[in-house]
Amino acid sequence: MWDRKLLRSSFALSLVSSLCAISGAAQQTDSPAPQPSSKQHVSVQAPVSSAIPSPGAPQRITLQDAIALARKNDPTYHSSLTDAGMAREDRAQARDALLPTATFNTSALYSQPSNITVQTGPSTSTVRFIANNAPHEYVSQGNVHEQLDLASFADYRRTAALAAAAKARSEIAARGLVVTVVQIYFAVEASEQKLASARQNAAEGENFLQLTQELEKGGEVAHSDVIKAELQAQDRRRQLQDAQLASLNARLDLAVLLFPDFTDNFELADSLHASAPLPPRQEFEALAARDNPDVRAALSAVQAAGHDLLSARAGYLPSVGLDYWYGIDAEHYAAYTPAPDGRVHNLGYAAMASLTLPLWNWGATQSKVRQSELRRDQSKLELSLAQRKLLAEMRSLYSEAETALNQQAGLQRSAELAADSLRLTTLRYKNGESTVLEVVDAQNTLAQANAAYQDGALRYHVALANLQTLTGVLTTP
């Protein structure tokens, strides 16, 4: 992926030229700007065009599409999936260690012969070293081995618990990724809404500047009103430039998150102000308490620590080994060896059982036990903390979403009232019933109300996504 700073620097020249063109067009506006209505503040504006034109129609992306694309391309999320997959393989390897193993070995051994020949049945023993049975000895046999000890069973249970913890952490990463996508996705829409408002405010400032200039020519207002109106128009132009840059950066953030090959030729399908219901508190608390991945991960860590302690204590106990061999161990690499009175059958078997008793290891086993006990106690504390955090987050996150929802209607009403106030104040100024400071204050109030309305909608969607981290259910459309 491209670095975000490099992307922003590549768009700088084209962005500056477009801003100058917009500012020049705003200064040449002769007709009065249309008064903002409540619908203009609620509706979704068209996305800002890319600085690098892309051929073809823009790709339309819903929120669910964005989440699916992010899950395919986000390296942090895939890192958690990799950890979970590796933990599953560790569990499989520990399980296989409990089962018998079968191997096959073929070898030829040579020993220096001795000067004395001893007749031993159908063959002669002429080796100098007793490690081998004949100068030429061939071994070709299969071996079945089984090791029985408590530590192996405890290790398997520990890896199973660690695999469950890794799976829970991957789910935590998946839910956290949803919050990130929702925040960036609707931040793009909020920035586009703010850009539309900034364009409208810039037009209002230019129109008001023209109005004061016309009234000054007629001797109805002082030159100080023109100066104040021009200062206000300059401020609106700067705000428009900042809004364009913020919108561009928001789109770049989303493009970097979603697409493996960078492109900004896309448009968003879900509206920032679309209806998104808040689940009832009882339903939310039931879902959050039933299957929370943070608590599951902490509980699995406690179980793994308990099995690790059992494995350490198994160092005090004996272990049993079982072996079975079948094949040949003879002077000839063949199933039969010729003999004076016939032939000798070389195929045969052997079995062995061994018992290993631990006697002394300078306190290493005791040290491992104390180490495992420390890890177990720490994991218990972390489980208790995860449970307490769950109870606190259940109240905090739901209250956050509830507060943001309750403020939505008030923020929308404030934006509508600010638009109406600006319209009435401007009419009163034309009739000489208000001052330039009142008009400027009404313009500032409208800009702040519109920005607060978009930020409030973004806050509510992010709050709903945060609820998903506890319930696993995404209520945002």
Q: What CATH number is given to the structural domain containing 437?
A: 1.20.1600.10
Phi-psi region of 342 (alpha: psi -120 to 50; beta: other; left: phi over 0): left
In a domain, 370, yes or no: no
What confidence category does residue 125 fall into, taking pLDDT thresholds of 50, 70 and 90? low
In a domain, 29, yes or no: no
Per-residue pLDDT averaged across 352-372, rounded?
Answer: 94
Shared-domain flag, residues 79 and 104:
no
Per-residue pLDDT averaged across 450-474, rounded?
Answer: 92
CATH code: domain of residue 346: 2.20.200
What confidence category does residue 47 fall into, taking pLDDT thresholds of 50, 70 and 90? very low
Shared-domain flag, residues 346 and 443:
no
Is residue 415 packed enough to be buried (19+ CB in 10 Å), middle (13-18) or exposed (0-12)?
buried
Shared-domain flag, residues 218 and 139:
no
In a domain, 133, yes or no: yes
pLDDT at 438: 94
Tens of pLDDT, residues 62-101? 999 999 999 999 999 999 999 999 999 999 999 999 999 9
What is the rounded radius of gyration, in angstroms, for the C-alpha atoms of the chain? Answer: 39
In a domain, 181, yes or no: yes
- Please state, rounded to an integer, the average pLDDT across all residues of the chain: 85
Containing domain of residue 143, as a range?
100-148+318-357
What confidence category does residue 135 fall into, taking pLDDT thresholds of 50, 70 and 90? confident
pLDDT at 476: 64
Q: Give dist(CA 257, CA 259) in Å, integer.
A: 6
Shared-domain flag, residues 400 and 260:
yes
pTM summary value: 0.76
Shared-domain flag, residues 324 and 240:
no
Q: Is the pLDDT of residue 129 over 70?
A: no
Per-residue pLDDT averaged across 134-163, rounded?
Answer: 91
Number of folded domains in the chain?
2
Shared-domain flag, residues 82 and 111:
no
Residue 251: which of 187, 195, 196 has the closest Cα?
187
Shared-domain flag, residues 104 and 70:
no
Is residue 187 packed enough to be buried (19+ CB in 10 Å), middle (13-18) or exposed (0-12)?
buried
For helices 150-217 and 63-73, give the axis angle rounded to 10 degrees. 130
Give the residue, 477 or 241, on which the prediction is more confident: 241
Q: Is the pLDDT of residue 236 over 50?
A: yes
In a domain, 263, yes or no: yes
Per-residue pLDDT averaged across 181-201, rounded?
Answer: 95
**CB 86 within 8 Å of CB 159:** no
Report in angstroms the alpha-carbon separations of 53 from 49, 58, 62, 266, 295: 8, 10, 22, 11, 48
In sequence order, what E strands does 43-168 have?
59-61, 101-110, 113-120, 123-127, 136-148
Rounded to 5°, angle at Cα 449 from 443 and 452? 145
In a domain, 381, yes or no: no
The alpha carbon of residue 142 and the mean position of all alpha carbons in its chain are separated, in whole angstroms, by 49
Say how many CA atoms lie within 13 Å of 370 toward its Cβ: 5
In a domain, 239, yes or no: yes
